[in-house]
Amino acid sequence: MNREVTLPLIVDHRGTLQVSAADVSKLLRTMGGRWLHLVESGDERLDEDTVAALTIELAKLADRIDVACIAHSSGSRA
């Protein structure tokens, strides 16, 4: 099943972002990287294929956040 996640940007009344895109993107990528590291180090509680798929999806979401924030800061719409 293919489900798309929509993550709205949170801005105040002046248009200032309330969440650092860099921090959110870094968190998502770090989570995926840590899961991959656990799999590579032999953690048998994690399924390698599932971790790979989740890591890819987290990276895609991080990319989408980055693109949306770049578009927002440049005054464009993504």
Q: How confident is the model at residue 1 (pLDDT cuts 50, 70, 90)?
A: very low
User: Structure pTM?
Assistant: 0.67
Burial of 42 (0-12, 13-18, 19+ CB in 10 A): exposed
> What confidence tens digit (pLDDT) does each residue in 36-70 have?
999 999 999 999 999 999 999 999 999 998 888 88
pLDDT value for 68: 85
- Alpha-carbon gap, residue 22 to 31, rounded angstroms: 14
Instruction: Report residue 10 as tokens.
Output: 């949170």
